[in-house]
Amino acid sequence: MRGELPGRALVVGMALSGEAAAGALQRHGIAVLTADRRDGTDEDLGLLDGVDVLVKSPGVPGDNPLVAEARARGIPVWSEVELGYRLLPDGVQLLGVTGTKGKTTTVRLLGAMLEAAGRPVRLAGNEHAPLSEVADEVEPGTWLVCELTSFQLEDVHTLALDVAVLLNLEPDHLDRHGSFEAYRDAKLRIFERAGKTIEWSPDEPLPAEPRIRGAHNRENAAAATRVARELGVPDEAICEALVSFPGVEHRLEPIAEIDGVRWVNDSKATNVAAAIRGLAAYGDEPVLLIVGGRGKGQSFRPLAGALGPNVKAVYAIGEAAEEITGVAGSRAVVVGDLATAVARAAGEAEPGDVVLLSPACASFDQFRDFVHRGEEFRRLVQNVEG
């Protein structure tokens, strides 16, 4: 292990990461209490009595009553990633990737490149297994590629990556962080104590062009390629990964072609910058765009500016629908929910069109998460096909 562990811990937020943290602590013989918003226990300040550390799930904000009280009492607050790092055995090479968008794709591409080179590799973090879960399973000599969000980096104290990579930095999660500066500062914590920071260029020459579509994915491939080369991965293995990697679910994922109309699931585009990239991937092709959900404190004007003449219609859903149509012009119409948007698009699309779900918003107004939103889109499209 890479750090001391507490004698008694309180885990706040019992979603996937919180469950993993509690399980890891228990496996190491540590007394664990848990609290969660769903049952109201995340406001029970008495749970802090006798606790040595509070471990918080990424979804738990800093102003949570238990978190705020822990800080006031001088009780250390750890992110789940901080706990996971402390549990890692020596001899594991830890690579961290952060950025506003492209993290999941880059992490999976880099993992594929290392695997093609015959390196023992595991993936962990945001869209993968929690680090505290993986830490008990990896063997020395493993290359562990970890996807890190601003939420996960908020409360790290000893996390020291062997390699740290920042992909990009654009406004996001302003509803949580309060300002771009606070969001940026959380992201940049990836470089604290890092052994090596790898600089990369979007113009990195590649041994093969990536199979996945879009200029942004070419940039993700460039970042993964630069890191892989720095780690000594031969171009033959990099090439194998680039031409075989199919992409990430819910990110520009083609899900059907019906009567000449292509339906594309980009539900993972949870901010404006990602939706703009999704639109750019289809260039001059005729697009019917489904957009909206819960806003994250961003302006939708940049998205409106990215609506080229190829965008035939914009169907706005969710809480942000009226805000979007207010800046998007006459092509945009409030339709309310995803089912109505799919039905409208099915009735109005023509052969050669692309119906693109690229919401530019969080999903929590109408769905559990972006995966739920993407799966519902898939189901609705299947009904159109049926």
Average pLDDT, the chain: 95
pLDDT, residue 174, reads 86
Range in 26-30, 179-183, 382-386 the model is least confident about: 382-386
Confidence check: pLDDT of 1 > 90? no
Residues 6+ apart with CB under 8 A from 56: 11, 12, 13, 18, 64, 67, 77, 78, 79, 80, 155
Give the pLDDT of residue 46.
97
CA nearest to 341, candidates 372, 313, 320: 313
pTM of the model: 0.83
Determine which of 47-61, 184-198, 204-218 has the lowest per-residue pLDDT on average. Answer: 204-218
Q: Which residues contact 1 (CB under 8 A, 6 or more apart)?
A: 86, 87, 88, 89
Collapsing DSSP states into helix, strand and coil, what is residue 345?
helix
Residue 386 pLDDT? 62
pLDDT grade for 348, boundaries at 50, 70 and 90: very high
| Residue 67 phi, psi dihedral angles, 5° rounding | -65, -45
| Dist CA 338 CA 355 (whole Å) | 12
Q: Which domains can be identified in the chain, with CATH numbers?
A: 8-82 (3.40.50.720), 88-244 (3.40.1190.10), 253-385 (3.90.190.20)
Q: 104 near 45, Cβ under 8 Å?
A: no
According to the model, what pLDDT value does residue 172 have? 86
Note the pLDDT of residue 27: 96
> What's the CA angle centered on 18, arms 17 and 20, to 5 degrees?
65
Per-state percent for the chain, helix, strand, coil, to nearest 5: 40, 20, 40
Pairing of strands 287-292, 261-265: unpaired
Residue 167 has pLDDT above 70, yes or no: yes
Q: What is the pLDDT of residues 265-318, one digit of tens each?
A: 999 999 999 999 999 999 889 999 999 999 998 999 999 999 999 999 999 999
CA distance 213 to 337: 28
Cα–Cα distance list, 286 to 38, 254, 299, 349 (Å):
43, 15, 25, 9
Rg (CA), the chain: 22
